[in-house]
Structure 1
Amino acid sequence: MPNLASVEIDTPANKGETKIRRSYRAPDRLLERPAEGINTMADIFLKARERFPKRAIMGWRDVVRTHDENKEITKKVEGKEVKQTKTWQYYELSNYKYLTYDEFEERIQHASSGLVNLGLSKDTRFNIYATTAINWQNMAHACFRQSIPFCTAYETLGEEGLQHSLIEPQVVGVFTNAELLPTLANVIRKADTVKYVIYDGKPEDKHLDTIRKVLDERQGKLLTIEHLWAEGKANPAESHLPTRDDVACIMYTSGSTGAPKGVILTHGNLVASIAAVELHAGDLLSPTDTFLAYLPLAHILEFIVECTMTYMGITMGYGKVKTLTQASVRNCDGDIKAFKPSIMIGVPAVWELIRKGILSKVNAGGSFKQKLFNGALTIKKNKIPLLTSVVDNVVFKAVREQTGGRLRFALCGGAALSRETQEFLNNALVLLLQGYGLTESCGMTAILHPEFYSYGPSGGCVPAIEIKLCDVPDAGYFATNNPPQGEVLIRGPSVTKGYFNRDDVNKESFQDGWFLTGDVGQWNPDGTLSIIDRKKNLVKLSGGEYIAIERLESVYKSSNLVSNICVHAHSDAKQPMAIIFPREDNLVAAAQKIGASGDLEELCKNRDVAKMVMDDVNVVGKKAGFKNLEMLQTVLLVHEELAMTAAQKLSRKDIVNKYEDEIKKLYM
């Protein structure tokens, strides 16, 4: 085992900065490519196909039928109980079906030829506004093959965000799904450069008519993806392969602080990131692995991981959030159990949900089952010889079977995960690694390798990135601290050169070739990086001390009474407060113990219930070592889910604005 996860390079540090650190696996260079001759995303697939022509590259499931089930629910309306019937829809899915690399190459050729026949080229821009599935990747690789830059739009973007991602880059063509056509239909007239819309699925005629009318006025075309393939097959076009400096995509952020920003990523950026993952974590992967893909492909983490799996010959299976588990399917297994992945990635919200789901089942099993489970966790946590393998095979086997029984390791990215959740899942389910990345670094900046496993750190820097920390004086973060702390600055072949049409933001975000992430990091003694704060989310309290609200949220969210939480503070307060969307089943059970009852809306209005939740959350904070000034002063319980961005991050401004009056009454 190496001594350090990252090493200092032999250049003097500037005042107010740490020395530059690189991966211990490549201390003398920054990786640009995984192998000679592989410089673009087109090369990535062509090389993989050459190595694995008959291997399954991707799998999917068809919807066999839908099942509507009526359920009677009781709600209180004006103090009276009223019974209502609600219809719930469940899916019956086929077994997984697969395409080989050769078969996928055929689809790429047909789709890329179809795009060329429509008139798209290196000088035009395409947009992929679709759910995570084979056709998303098909359109991306079709664009790569013809040097067509594409833009991404989250499927959960509202009309305003979608409109921005179409108009700003002057998009000519769009690929989307039937279920997203209504949103596109509402904005397409304003996006006056759009001439071609390609879709899959079976949409309603009225939405097709709206879009067709607009495109006809522009001498454009509306067609299915099958039609595109057929056109491309009938009229094959020569490939126009890109160079490493060509723009591969403009990946729009989720817009948590305003209009989405378009991050310009070149072929060289993406290829360097894939090379870095292969060198940094390739020893964890094997050709027999399988990867479950379900996060939005418009999120850089999912996109770069899928591209890495493709390059390394690891079969992927596509799933959907609503069909991952048994809860929303009928007469079949959920995607996880059906596909039996050995590798998964997820954002903190996914892992928190899994942890709370496991605990909910355990608690429903009675006191004996709870004691058995908690005892098994203690044995795993303390690594008691002989007993560890026993509890793995007896107690935790049933937990692992819910994910198919083959899961070897998982990665959490997108935001910080609480130590409690990481430790719980590591013991009960799977080795859970953390990572740190941004769209601007092609998703990968640091990854925790098992060689340096501990709870909290994001790992050592990947071999395409070098990192230094810069003082944040107001908050007390200095390069001279022990351990060294400061804003994370990154540089390397996988780092973007800037944002599309945003010179103002580029000037703020880049300094002497370094990208200023806005995240506050800490170098640990073993060379791993921990992300401890976010500069924009540091709040100064009345006592003059700063608190990091994102860090508080990551810990407080692990309370079993919390489904989601937004910590809020202002400068004339001594402590923060929180807006909490509770986990309904656990809240109802806990409320009964203090003599409170009612539906979720009623319980949220009950201040005794609110105090109970606050006390529980503060206990979680105390266990995590929070100071008194980091404990919650008050909480506002809400019965509606908190506003989120397309990347599943809190939309703070929207949340605080929505509950402004209630916050003022509680938080003086």
Structure 2
Amino acid sequence: MFRSFIVPSSEVPGFSAIYRHPSYKDGTHNKQYAEVKTLYDLFTFMVSNNPKKEFLGRRIYYPETNIFGKYEWITTTEASEIINDLGAGLDSIFATYAPEPNETTGQQTIGVFSINRPEWLLTELAAFRSRRYTVGISDVAGVESSEFVINVADTQIVACSMDKIPRMLDRIKLTPRLKVIISMDKLDCSKPSIATQAFSAETTEKLKARAESLGIKLMDLDQVIQIGKANPTEPTEPSPNDLCTICFTSGTTGAQKGAMIAHKNLVHSSRAACLTFKVCDTTYLSFMSLMHIFDRIVIYLQMFNMVRIGFYSGDPTRLLDDMQALRPTFLASVPPVLNRIYDKVAFSTIGAKGVKGLLCRMAYKSKEKRIVSGRGFKHPLWDKIVFDKVAKLFGGEVQLMISGAALLAPEVHTFMRACLSCNILQGYGQTETAGNSMAQDIDDFTTGNCGAPAPGIDIRLRSIPDMGYNVTDSPGPRGELLVRGDNVTVGYYQDPEKTAELMEDDWLVTGDIVRINTDGTISVIERIKNAIRSASTIYLEPGPLEIIYEKHELIDQCFVYGSPRIYKLVAVVVPNSEMFIPWARKITGSPKAQLAELCESKEVAEAMTQELLKLGAQAKVPSPAMIGAVHLEPTPLAQVNSQFYTSTLKLRRHLVNQHYMPIFDKLCDSLDFTTDPKFSLAGKK
């Protein structure tokens, strides 16, 4: 089965043919859900088709015991009433404190600064009611990230959780245009949440007094809703070309950029996802950051056919507890999260010793064959004995999961499918494509690819001959991915130079290298900016190499670096302490040495290098991709510097490179710029 449609006679020199979804060969959505033109339309469409159904849920928080209870819900009708009153209240607040539209966009903006919670989505939908757009704010991307976003987007009104208010007041001189802060939590602390733990009615009174002394109007959402009830207004509905959000990119390759996303972009993207995944009447757990586009498109795609959205408690360590309380049927995640789950579950099942390990490996092999052959995800025997126990950790009801934002290793992909007894589909999108460009179809059981172009979205490749990628390559075209469709961003906010670099005619230039597979699916190879060039002049993709080296039982994390000065790679290795410590103690002869001391041992580093050389040879890694020297880092990278990762757990390679550059230079010097005579080719002496 060929999973893409090739547009006839669409090849031009240097570019591949145009590829589309095989069910939508004309490049449109075949007029499905044509009445939905904006995200505000989508919400009213959902309410009219599903009145009084449970819509947004949160867990009841008990501050006395610091525990969370069952989920409580508001219905679609209740949400509609809140959004109408909140929208009218915002009309009054903007008219009083920030009446002028943004000079660049011609619309008004409201910032949203919080973890995922019902008020995040309610605020956004209330903004849409009056042609406003949102800007997601985060303090994860850098020391002054929140101030950067507030200032760049000229945000004068911010809705935030209570825990963000003291920080905003402390740094108010850095955001001179900010005028109003709206607390998502009641300022009298009458409804406790995880964000109000450090507050009381007395401390919030001091906050209000301090805000007033600084010239900031501080109120809560309930107060804005009451203003709206007392001063009702009619909606000023947005048009498809109006902005719905400025979404700041995660900054994996440099400074953050504000992608301007119009209503038509997110509607087209989420409708395409809805037509691909065909979800209906599901229960979804929202925990991926709403500041970024991934979780928002997942929420919106499900609103086409109604969904209960339960928000996580706000504490990542309680995520599995949230799943068991909600029992979601639909999940979205990213490879770093799934990789961590895989490491723990695989170690205690298929990696276990003795009879248990033997039984689990038999179960997994049997189920793997069943899944790959298309005979379904459930097994009458092995699920009861092995896999149901794992599935219950996720609530036991998951029917579908989407993985995005990075590459998912095939072995992790298949293993998680077996454990959850459901399909897990990979997708691909960028902030600039409103989160969607291609995805696996619901009946696709393959791994190592991101499926076919999404409905109504065109893709093509262009050759990069300097890097050895050409659309004439066999067995399938390789090159830089270009995307075209109504999902493509309007451009970067106040950055015409970057906007010009982003587009080539009407095609968005993604910066990602991909391959068209023989079955018409697309595999992402690597980002062009991440490609490593060694003295061999061969370009190497670090992501897939790190996945290979991280398979070693002694390793938790591996970050590779290359330089035109050397013929091999060097690496920062974070050991798996449980396996590493006894192994390293034997090498040093120090039975009581601790992790930090063992990581400083030259003997241990050299032994680890040999382990990686052996693994590389077994995996048939090309000689320039072999590891020539390592630095052992006892601290996980996220603890070395929390800024190494975005809120969607993407690695900011440029920041890691900067931090370890002195070490990389020493490692490169230690290789004396020569090849390793032991491995002229992978595994061959």
Q: Could you state the TM-score of these two structures normalised by the residue count of structure 2?
A: 0.86
Segment drifting more, 593-602 vs 574-583:
593-602
Q: Take 2:561 and 2:395, find their aligned partners in 1: how far apart are those partners?
A: 40
Q: Any conservation in 1 of the 2:438–2:453 contact (CA below 8 Å)?
A: yes
Cα distance change on mapping 1:209 and 1:610 into 2, 3 Å: farther
- Give 1:38 deviation, angstroms: 1.3
Q: Take 2:552 and 2:352, find their aligned partners in 1: how far apart are those partners?
A: 20
2:634 to 632, 639, 643: 639
Q: Any conservation in 2 of the 1:487–1:517 contact (CA below 8 Å)?
A: yes
Identity %: 26
Q: Take 1:618 and 1:431, find their aligned partners in 2: how far apart are those partners?
A: 35
Amino acid of the residue matched to residue 438 of structure 1? Q
Segment drifting more, 36-45 vs 609-618:
609-618
Q: Take 1:493 and 1:542, find their aligned partners in 2: how far apart are those partners?
A: 42
Amino acid of the residue matched to residue 12 of structure 1? S
Aligned-residue CA RMSD (Å) = 2.7
Q: Take 1:32 and 1:40, find their aligned partners in 2: how far apart are those partners?
A: 17
What are the residue-to-residue correspondences of 1:61-460 with 2, within 5 Å?
61-65=59-63, 91-119=66-94, 123-199=107-183, 200=185, 201-202=195-196, 204=199, 213=210, 217-218=214-215, 220-282=216-278, 285-287=279-281, 289-320=282-313, 322-323=315-316, 325=318, 334-362=321-349, 366-383=353-370, 388-429=379-420, 430-460=422-452
Amino acid of the residue matched to residue 453 of structure 1? F
Amino acid of the residue matched to residue 142 of structure 1? A
Q: Any conservation in 2 of the 1:33–1:275 contact (CA below 8 Å)?
A: no
Q: Which residue of 2 aligns with 1:56?
A: 54
- Give 1:135 deviation, angstroms: 0.9
- Give 1:23 deviation, angstroms: 0.9
Amino acid of the residue matched to residue 668 of structure 2? Y
- Give 1:104 deviation, angstroms: 1.2
- Give 1:334 deviation, angstroms: 0.5
Q: Deviation string for 1:512-561 (max 9, x for gaps)?
A: 11110000011112111110121111122111211111222244344444
Unaligned stretches of 5+ residues in structure 1: 68-90, 327-332
Segment drifting more, 268-277 vs 380-389:
380-389
Cα distance change on mapping 1:229 and 1:348 into 2, 3 Å: same
Q: Any conservation in 1 of the 2:285–2:330 contact (CA below 8 Å)?
A: yes
Cα distance change on mapping 1:611 and 1:151 into 2, 3 Å: same
Q: Which residue of 2 aligns with 1:73?
A: none
- Give 1:209 deviation, angstroms: 5.6
In structure 2, the residue corresponding to 1:250 is in which secondary structure?
A: strand
Q: Which residue of 1 aligns with 2:677?
A: none
Q: Any conservation in 1 of the 2:480–2:511 contact (CA below 8 Å)?
A: yes
Segment drifting more, 389-398 vs 576-585:
576-585
Cα distance change on mapping 1:183 and 1:367 into 2, 3 Å: farther
- Give 1:620 deviation, angstroms: 5.5
- Give 1:132 deviation, angstroms: 0.9
Q: Take 1:396 and 1:501, find their aligned partners in 2: how far apart are those partners?
A: 51
Unaligned stretches of 5+ residues in structure 2: 102-106, 186-194, 638-643, 670-685
Q: Take 2:586 and 2:383, find their aligned partners in 1: how far apart are those partners?
A: 33
Segment drifting more, 371-380 vs 536-545:
371-380
Amino acid of the residue matched to residue 51 of structure 1? N
Q: Could you state the TM-score of these two structures normalised by the residue count of structure 1?
A: 0.88
Segment drifting more, 545-554 vs 271-280:
545-554
Cα distance change on mapping 1:92 and 1:524 into 2, 3 Å: same
Q: Which residue of 2 aligns with 1:527?
A: 520
Cα distance change on mapping 1:630 and 1:146 into 2, 3 Å: same
Segment drifting more, 642-651 vs 13-22:
642-651
Q: Any conservation in 2 of the 1:419–1:555 contact (CA below 8 Å)?
A: no
Amino acid of the residue matched to residue 146 of structure 2? L
Q: Any conservation in 1 of the 2:247–2:431 contact (CA below 8 Å)?
A: yes
Q: Deviation string for 1:250-270 (max 9, x for gaps)?
A: 001112233210000001111
In structure 2, the residue corresponding to 1:633 is in which secondary structure?
A: strand
Q: Take 1:579 and 1:206, find their aligned partners in 2: how far apart are those partners?
A: 46
2:566 corresponds to 1:573: yes
Cα distance change on mapping 1:359 and 1:188 into 2, 3 Å: same
Q: Take 1:560 and 1:665, find their aligned partners in 2: how far apart are those partners?
A: 26
Q: Deviation string for 1:389-427 (max 9, x for gaps)?
A: 322221212111111111122111001111221122222
Q: Take 1:577 and 1:432, find their aligned partners in 2: how far apart are those partners?
A: 34
Q: Deviation string for 1:203-239 (max 9, x for gaps)?
A: 6587986786566554x41112222222223322221
Q: Any conservation in 1 of the 2:274–2:304 contact (CA below 8 Å)?
A: no
1:627 to 598, 622, 625: 622
Q: Any conservation in 1 of the 2:254–2:654 contact (CA below 8 Å)?
A: no
Q: Take 2:305 and 2:9, find their aligned partners in 1: how far apart are those partners?
A: 35
Segment drifting more, 252-261 vs 131-140:
252-261
- Give 1:241 deviation, angstroms: 0.6
Segment drifting more, 559-568 vs 416-425:
559-568
Cα distance change on mapping 1:615 and 1:434 into 2, 3 Å: farther
Q: Take 1:135 and 1:613, find their aligned partners in 2: how far apart are those partners?
A: 49
Q: Deviation string for 1:478-513 (max 9, x for gaps)?
A: 000011000000010011121001111112111111
In structure 2, the residue corresponding to 1:451 is in which secondary structure?
A: coil
Cα distance change on mapping 1:666 and 1:407 into 2, 3 Å: same
Q: Deviation string for 1:283-336 (max 9, x for gaps)?
A: xx232x21111110112111110112223212121115735658xxxxxx7111
Amino acid of the residue matched to residue 396 of structure 1? F
Q: Which residue of 2 aligns with 1:71?
A: none
Cα distance change on mapping 1:368 and 1:251 into 2, 3 Å: same
2:487 corresponds to 1:491: no
